[in-house]
A and B are shown apart, each in its own frame.
Chain A
Amino acid sequence: MAGVRLNHVVKRYPGNEEATVKDFHLEIRDKEFLVLVGASGCGKSTTLRMIAGLEEISEGELYIGDRLVNDVAPKDRDIAMVFQSYALYPHMSVYQNMAFGLKLRKFKKSDIDRRVREAAKILDIDHLLERKPKALSGGQRQRVALGRAIVREPQVFLMDEPLSNLDAKLRVQMRAEISKLHKRLETTIIYVTHDQTEAMTMGDRIVVMDNGIIQQAATPEEIYNFPVNIFVAGFIGSPSMNFISGSFSEQGGNVFFKAQGLNVEVPANKARWIRERGYVGKEAVMGIRPEDFHEEQAFMDNSPNSVVNVHVEVAENLGHEMFLYINGIGTNTMVARVDGHAGFKEGTNIKLGLDMNKSHFFDTETTVSILN
């Protein structure tokens, strides 16, 4: 097993003025499950392909363990890849598919057999070993592709959207399987996805990318609770964080955030930062997650300075929870997640409390968090 170090790595394609990946600098620890997440075209797959050796590195250095591998062919990097567009070898059985890489590396037959059967058992495909790929379902094929990677016992696994061709139910199941596999194999995994739920549930650490740049690299909890900028705050979380443009003011020794339909008190610990950084009297963007709206009367009684009047445009009841699409704060429609039994109706005016301890504030110009 080994860590991976990307030292100021840049990827530039001929004819493109702007680099696709810009100054990617990160150390991935041994046995870490690292997830690269971002929207299409953000550079996450290109980064993974550079680690795999499928794309040349324009600038910078890439180390797997202590070995500089910029010019090393994929087969000699001691990595195993499972990509979205994986293809099984159609003329070989499942067993042969999994054994092929080992056969090439001249492993003893007994070792090959042991590794293939062990991996097949882990993946619950041991009853399919004699079948040809065409006779397998999508989920089974995906497991074989994983098995082909596992038997190699590589230093690093690279996975690029490996679940995106599966249906929703199977994807959830395989997500858990891969997490279990990581714990069992104790190896380094670098995993690319566009799906923030996959990122949050699978990664030890998440790297959020946008426009070829690392926006934030941190644990899922840190990314969720302390996003460094508006992009990360809006990208992670479903439904997305609500944003309100407004300004800070000092009222009776406390800091308040004022916007259209809103005048809420900022908690003391956050107010200290806002004062120290000279934001009082200035504009900013407040971020509040849907679950940080509260409909309970006790909450509103305890925090009278964070209560807002809103109009319910749409109410979606999912049973255990309810999404309210509300107007009245700022200029945009916002989403609040409340208890499924709250009984709110569309077209009514209601009061909601904001958990200001969970609020986020960002600089209007730079979009960077004021509080971090």
Chain B
Amino acid sequence: MNWERMKERLEQVLGIPAQELKLSDEVWEAAVKAENQEPGSYKSVVSDGKVCFFLYKESKFIVTLAIDGSLLTRAERQLVELMFELYREQGRKIPHTSASDEEKRAFQLRDWCNEQLERGAVHAEVPESLIRQMPLHTRRVPFLLSGDYSPNRHVTYKDLKKLLETFFDEQIVLIPLNDKDWLIFGTEGLLSYDSDDKEEEESQEEALASLCFGLSDMLANEWVGECHIAVHPPIVPANSLIAVILALRETLLLGQTFQQGSHIHLPWALRLEKLLASAPENEKSGYLEHVLGGYDYLLDTETISTLETFFQLDCNVSETAKKLYIHRNTLLYRLDKFKQETSLDVRGFQDAVLVKIALQLYKVTKRK
């Protein structure tokens, strides 16, 4: 479901700003109780003076749209609740009567997935009735495709499925999770495509990465534009569908947060980021303050891009200068300038590690 678009439209109609806010299950339940609502109610609650409208459940959090409570009348609050309820229901409907049986089944499975996700039922097993005709009992490679396309680019289940099946040259399972997110299951056989060069066996991770890059390139050229893609090692979907959706969404979120500019997000390339994201907020800010002092306010795009490229290329000065299209001396000047400001010499391992972590945290703490 396109909550971002809904937020924009709501802001236009009400003329007041709204923001996405995540509340823990405990905070949500406490707020429900404080307002004497029925336990398990998923409409809206008041938290810290904000009216938080329920959007969906994500793992241990409730994702809400928060609006300053003093700017909303009671009637407006009820109307917004009603609108969200109808929007969610509309989203659950099967798209159109002329859709193929296969498409209808995919949408039914989507509804089931969304219900489990809303409930936080990570280990729910898919009812047999829903996947009777879907090859989800064998090991499959899951991809999460998130299309960052504008609403005026018409996207249909049928077109995307046909395109993907032509690309993979095999039958795939496609489940539309919402307006922009698509879950794809390809066969494990996709990973054994390489038969030319027996001497240089490709690892599973390398094979998955190559497939993602190829898929991304193909979608940019032959579909509606660029997409974000997250991948996961093969699983048996019937046993772990919800868990894999959550894992893919986590990878996608981490990738979009920490790997801005990249469209391919691989879980094994985001291990450090996952660890950092789980650190408490005060620890993150404290680390930044301690390592960079006040200098983080001065971190400009050029410095960030220089340091990131330097770390990507294993602190190799010549390679970094080449990649950035600058003279080696210019790079050394930039690194020296950084050292003068922060007393951190990123050409040394210890300081490089400190700064690498600080740069990653800088992206999530948004200090600027």
Q: Known contacts A73-B225, A75-B221, A100-B167; decide if A90 and B210 are in contact (CB<8 Å).
A: yes
Total interface residues on A, CB under 8 Å, equals 30
B223 / chain A contacts, CB cutoff of 8 Å: 73-75
> Are the CB atoms of B196 and A131 closer together than 8 Å?
yes
Contact with A along B190-207 (1 / 0, CB 8 A): 100111110010100001
A40 an interface residue at 8 Å Cβ cutoff? yes
21 chain-A/chain-B pairs, Cβ below 8 angstroms: A39-B325, A74-B220, A74-B224, A75-B222, A75-B223, A81-B220, A86-B217, A87-B213, A88-B217, A89-B217, A90-B194, A90-B210, A91-B169, A91-B193, A92-B169, A103-B166, A104-B163, A132-B193, A134-B197, A134-B200, A194-B325
A101 an interface residue at 8 Å Cβ cutoff? yes
B357 an interface residue at 8 Å Cβ cutoff? no
Alpha-carbon gap, A96 to B152, bound state (A): 32
Alpha-carbon gap, A41 to B226, bound state (A): 20
> Are the CB atoms of A89 and B224 closer together than 8 Å?
no
Alpha-carbon gap, A134 to B195, bound state (A): 10
A43 an interface residue at 8 Å Cβ cutoff? no
Which residues of chain A (71-111) have a CB below 8 Å from chain B? 71, 73-75, 80-81, 86-92, 100-101, 103-104
B324 an interface residue at 8 Å Cβ cutoff? yes
Which residues of chain B (136-171) have a CB below 8 Å from chain A? 150, 152-153, 163, 166-169
A135 an interface residue at 8 Å Cβ cutoff? yes
User: Which of A39, A56, A74, A133 has the most chain B CB atoms inside 10 A of its CB?
Assistant: A74
A268 an interface residue at 8 Å Cβ cutoff? no
Q: Known contacts A71-B152, A100-B218; decide if A134 and B225 are in contact (CB<8 Å).
A: no
B190 / chain A contacts, CB cutoff of 8 Å: 91
B116 an interface residue at 8 Å Cβ cutoff? no
> Are the CB atoms of A74 and B214 closer together than 8 Å?
no
> Are the CB atoms of B166 and A91 closer together than 8 Å?
no
A343 to chain B, nearest CB (A): 28
User: Which of A56, A86, A89 has the most chain B CB atoms inside 10 A of its CB?
Assistant: A89
B73 an interface residue at 8 Å Cβ cutoff? no
Q: Known contacts A87-B213, A104-B166; decide if A41 and B301 are in contact (CB<8 Å).
A: yes
B216 an interface residue at 8 Å Cβ cutoff? yes
Question: What 20 additional pairs, Cβ within 8 angstroms, besides A101-B222, A134-B202?
Answer: A40-B324, A54-B220, A71-B150, A73-B225, A74-B223, A80-B221, A81-B221, A87-B210, A87-B217, A90-B193, A90-B210, A90-B213, A90-B214, A91-B190, A91-B214, A100-B166, A104-B222, A132-B196, A134-B197, A134-B210
B173 an interface residue at 8 Å Cβ cutoff? no
Alpha-carbon gap, A80 to B221, bound state (A): 8
B152 / chain A contacts, CB cutoff of 8 Å: 71
A53 / chain B contacts, CB cutoff of 8 Å: 225
B126 an interface residue at 8 Å Cβ cutoff? no
A132 / chain B contacts, CB cutoff of 8 Å: 193-196
> Which residue of B196, B214, B224 is within 8 Å of A87 (Cβ)?
B214
From A53, which residue of chain B is reached at the shortest CB distance? B225
Alpha-carbon gap, A295 to B214, bound state (A): 56
A131 / chain B contacts, CB cutoff of 8 Å: 196
Ranked nearest first, the 3 interchain pairs of A and B with the lowest CB-CB distance are A91-B193, A87-B213, A90-B210
Alpha-carbon gap, A290 to B368, bound state (A): 43
